[in-house]
Amino acid sequence: MSDKRVLSGIQPTGNLHLGNYLGAIKNFVAMQNEFKCFFMLADLHALTVKTDPKVLKENILNTAATFLAAGLKSNKSTIFCQSQINSHTDLAWILNCIARVGWLNRMTQFKEKAGSNKENASIGLYTYPILMAADILIYKATHVPVGDDQKQHLELCRDIALKFNNDYKNNYFTLPEAIIPKSVSRIMSLRNGTKKMSKSEESDLSRINLTDTKDVISQKIKKAKTDNDTINEKIFDKESKRYEAQNLIKIYSNLKSETHDKVLKDYNGKTFIDFKKDLSDLVIEEIIPISNMIKKYRNDDKELINILINGSMVANDIAEKTIFEIKKIVGLA
Ligand code: AMP
Ligand code: TRP
């Protein structure tokens, strides 16, 4: 095993969808054989918007079940809940004092999530990227697999680590690198090819949930927005603006492990009616086994809870060592 360390997190804020799967979880699974991996349920991040406690508890278990159902293994990766490791928030405070207001003011996700009512957004939503930096740096992660929407937060994490090193005249933190999958870094809504597929989009038709049944998946793909043109090699040309078509081709080529060119060649001249039938079969083949396994894991929450407790113990040992070293560097220990 190489000395690369991988960490990533997902907020337990609702049903995970095909975007989370292709953009993040599928890559987590691929990495666990090669690297030392930490995969975390970012439950503290989930509190940055109003959350019903009962719903949050269910979502934590559902997300843990999804990690395992997708193929993460507790004997290969450390799987745990962020809120169980106090050093994350200890380090976040220290990093709050390193990061600059101007840096946070540039974060586009805050602007999008806070919308027009910025004054009323939680402070947690504003400082969320700093907690995320603490999540990464407390395990000295070298690689962070995420979707494209997290790229700016990773850059901020590097800036914070670098300023810490400069301020305290040491090289304590290694700067972590984002690992962003090329063509599926941003899976788009099935209803609007210019908006990303998201848990919070009102219409359920906009996304494929990892718990959807066969029938629901095929209905959603049948209803997915496309255009009236046939499939041809110009779909990815900048001027084509066929965003919905591009999205469906990207999903297909990822699931089939084929290049876009090959897919476009195979379907050249065909309509989306033919294509959608095949796409639907592919999505069902990938998602239904996961959906069945999620149900199986949720049948016995004891096993899930045990996995999270064991993961927390491993994570806590490492995190406590790091925070002690950092406290010494900054003069708190
Ligand atoms: P979140 O659901 O916001 O906690 O995101 C969890 C992970 O899934 C992050 O790495 C995101 O970048 C990734 N992700 C979320 N939505 C999409 C999407 N539509 N396409 C690709 N990746 C996504
Ligand atoms: N902010 C990430 C998201 O919403 C989740 C997250 C929290 C995360 N901490 C992290 C991702 C650390 C990578 C590394 O998707």
Q: Is residue 196 part of a domain?
A: no
pLDDT digits 0-9 by tens, 257-291: 999 999 999 999 999 999 999 999 999 999 999 99
Which atom of ligand 1 is nearest the CA belonging to 45?
4
Instruction: Supply the CATH number for residue 245's domain.
Output: 1.10.240.10
Q: Is residue 185 part of a domain?
A: no
Are 239 and 323 part of one and the same domain? no
- 1 confidence band (pLDDT: 50, 70, 90): low
pLDDT digits 0-9 by tens, 117-160: 889 999 999 999 999 999 999 999 999 999 999 999 999 999 99
Range(s) of the domain holding residue 236: 204-296
Are 169 and 67 part of one and the same domain? yes
Among 31, 40, 89, the mutation site with the greatest number of ligand 2 atoms within 8 A of its Cβ is 40
Instruction: Supply the CATH number for residue 164's domain.
Output: 3.40.50.620
Q: Is residue 186 part of a domain?
A: no
Are 254 and 312 part of one and the same domain? no
Which residue is closest in CA terms to ligand 2's atom 15? 10
Among 7, 18, 20, 28, the mutation site with the greatest number of ligand 1 atoms within 8 A of its Cβ is 20
Give CA–CA dist 196/251, Å, rounded: 13
Q: End-to-end CA distance of the chain, in Å?
A: 33
Strands 5-10 and 36-41, bridge-based pairing: parallel
| Closest alpha carbon to 220 in 199, 242, 248 | 248
The type of residue at 330 is: V
> What total of structural domains would you count in the chain?
2
Are 236 and 266 part of one and the same domain? yes
Are 279 and 256 part of one and the same domain? yes
Which residue is closest in CA terms to ligand 2's atom 9? 132
Q: Is residue 101 part of a domain?
A: yes
Q: What is the mean pLDDT of the chain?
A: 96
Residues with Cβ within 8 Å of residue 163, at least 6 apart in sequence: 98, 99
Is the CB of 113 inside a 6 Å radius of any atom of ligand 1? no
